[in-house]
Chains A and B, each alone.
Chain A
């Protein structure tokens, strides 16, 4: 029996764009890279856009994205600092990408380190990137498309023992309608090194565009990465993104995903604990309104013994918005003494909002400590009354309690000015929430 791939119009469209663009993409001419792009494109052609018939996409429908064709071209934008100012909220170092293109004049880079744009890194030292780009996972069609078409991204390569205390802020700004940006970020932390990286997607209000990102992270022994993922996309934007992490022994990966905007968002986060004593924590917060849709699919693979994973996602849904949480923890046969906890808590503020949550444990080892759970609820009316009995209006009481529900996720972000910015962004999503700014 043979399987005949039926190409959709969209698959053909992007394949044709790839043919047009390929010679202009960064690193063209490097045989291994050209081959990696070709492979990714073929995977995309074969897999196509995911449909709701795929189990992993059951609740997240890309039909509208597929129908609307986005131009995978980098549109140059003037290096206007005013564009960046409202989003320059982390202090520290800053790498700005406008419509997918690195903007050196708007960025603040540390001297004498291997932190910069992937395009430049491919010119300077392509060999160092080869393994990571070749192994970028092609989990589904759009992830494969992102790898095939990547036009730039960040490259962070820290030497062993480097302690980076200032945060490294990767800011992806979209200012052009109907574009697809395909960043590929490669982050490699050498033995014992530490860094805080913020991967931040933002767009000009009401602009329809598609961010299709891939981030590849590798932590060598005893390295620690704080990785903060912020989605503040425009109200008409699609975001699809994959993050894959490989951890060596004793390394720590702390991930914080904060979704506060975008018509449609889907993040796949895959972590492989491939050596002993590796630890990861995946935290997340999504606050959706209107008709927004957000989908977090996470998978933690415990491959060897003595690994620890923690996962804690919270969601607040209002309007007719919808969220999907699918958190999978797989404890492989050799992963004895695994310690895994997972929890997803949701607050539904309206009747039309919907959450589909599926914490999932697959355990193939017998000596493990694992727990998982999910809750879906409304605000506690006794709490609302307590605040009203102190003179707060009902709406203010509800906002205070909603904010309080989210607070512990944001409180864990290790970048103080970013916490402040996100708290404000969070309050702005609540009705009359801006009146509560003294909360923070």
Chain B
């Protein structure tokens, strides 16, 4: 589904990703871990097509298409969902409007009819219940005055409405208390399906207790330093990231000599 090959990317003129390769197949859940500054969020934003994230080398293929040739909105309509680390507040635009506009943009792209008001509302209500949110929140401005936890629930609500093929969740667990974390994890788990894939970007192993990944990758200095199963995450929890960074540095200097 997603093939990332030798990806190099710059942000503000600074090299962040330096030769990252990753292959994600349908049905899989991948966790991308790593210390601060290792390039995790950059990877998520490059996949979503955020302006200012400049790919200088390498390629990303998504469902056989050259992903880097698509605009951000085209990627979204093709089924890529980015769960934001910092969801923005948009005063004056109601949640329900954004959900409707987003769902209909995707449906239109797929050649499907726009949902009528009744079907749409029924669908939203069902998803709101899963996320244990208050329905009133639908009529409030997008994320305005929401707590950190409410914003992240709202991201997952949007994801459930959009039913993406590939969900990339950027630090969705940050700032969540344990109850909210469980609700968010439940929302993500509901999306797991043989025809979808999920990429979880996270700093901590905690989230992975609730969303079990098939693969765990550790980023260091802009590339994948180590890959493994879920036990790798547990090892990181006890040993920290230091040893991986040391190992990566050793490998690099070894490669040079």
Interface residues of A (CB under 8 A from B): 380-383, 385-394, 396-397, 400-401, 403-408, 438-439
Contacts and interface: CB of A to CB of B under 8 A. Distances in A.
Contacts of A405: 92
Contacts of A439: 93, 97
A393 B98 CA distance: 13
A15 B95 CA distance: 59
B30 interface: no
Interface stretch (B80-88, B228-236, B245-253): B80-88
A381 B50 CA distance: 10
B88 A390 contact: no
A214 to B, nearest CB: 34
Contact of B106 (A380, A391, A404, A408): A391
23 contacts: A381-B51, A381-B52, A382-B88, A386-B90, A389-B50, A389-B82, A390-B102, A391-B73, A391-B77, A391-B102, A391-B106, A391-B109, A391-B162, A392-B73, A392-B102, A401-B90, A401-B93, A404-B90, A404-B91, A404-B93, A405-B92, A406-B92, A438-B101
A208 B52 CA distance: 46
A302 B98 CA distance: 44
Nearest to A435: B101
Contacts of A387: 90, 98
A163 B98 CA distance: 40
A385 B109 contact: no
A385 B51 contact: yes
Contacts of B162: 390-391
Contacts of B88: 380, 382-383, 386
Contacts of A390: 76, 98, 101-102, 105, 158, 162
Contact of A394 (B73, B82, B91, B102): B73
A51 to B, nearest CB: 40
A407 B105 contact: no
Interface string B57-99: 0000000000000011101110001101001101111000110
A390 B105 CA distance: 8
Given A388-B76, A390-B158, 8 more contacts: A386-B88, A388-B73, A390-B76, A391-B105, A392-B102, A403-B93, A405-B92, A438-B101
B76 A403 contact: no
A408 B144 CA distance: 13
A386 B89 CA distance: 10
Contacts of B93: 400-401, 403-404, 439
Contacts of B52: 381
B100 interface: yes
Contacts of B141: 404
Contacts of A401: 90, 93
A258 to B, nearest CB: 16
Interface string B151-171: 000000010001000000000
A383 B98 CA distance: 12
A396 B84 contact: no
Contacts of B92: 403-408
Which 10 A-B residue pairs are closest in the complex by CB-CB distance?
Answer: A404-B92, A407-B92, A391-B105, A390-B102, A391-B76, A388-B72, A388-B73, A386-B88, A404-B93, A391-B77
B interface residue count range (under 10 / 10 to 19 / 20 to 34 / 35 or more): 20 to 34
Nearest to A410: B92
A397 B101 CA distance: 10
Contacts of A397: 73
Contacts of B51: 381, 385
Contacts of B73: 388-389, 391-394, 397
A365 B181 CA distance: 55
A213 B3 CA distance: 67
B109 A386 contact: no
B48 interface: yes
B121 to A, nearest CB: 14
A383 B90 contact: yes
Contacts of A438: 97, 100-101
B47 to A, nearest CB: 10
A290 to B, nearest CB: 24
A361 to B, nearest CB: 27
Contact of A408 (B75, B76, B91): B91
A401 B93 CA distance: 8
A291 B106 CA distance: 37
A382 B142 CA distance: 14
Nearest to A401: B90
B153 to A, nearest CB: 16
Nearest to A406: B92
Contacts of B87: 386
Nearest to A436: B101
A394 B77 CA distance: 13
A405 B91 CA distance: 7
A386 to B, nearest CB: 5
Contact of A389 (B48, B97, B101, B109): B48
B101 A396 contact: yes
B235 to A, nearest CB: 33
Contacts of A388: 49, 71-73, 76
A382 B51 CA distance: 9
Nearest to B73: A388
A394 B73 CA distance: 8
B226 to A, nearest CB: 29
A389 B105 CA distance: 11
A31 to B, nearest CB: 54
A382 B45 CA distance: 12
Nearest to A380: B88
Nearest to A385: B50
Contacts of B90: 383, 386-387, 400-401, 404
Most chain B CB neighbours (cut-off 10 Å) among A382, A389, A397, A403: A389
Nearest to A407: B92
Most chain B CB neighbours (cut-off 10 Å) among A385, A390, A407: A390
A404 B71 CA distance: 24
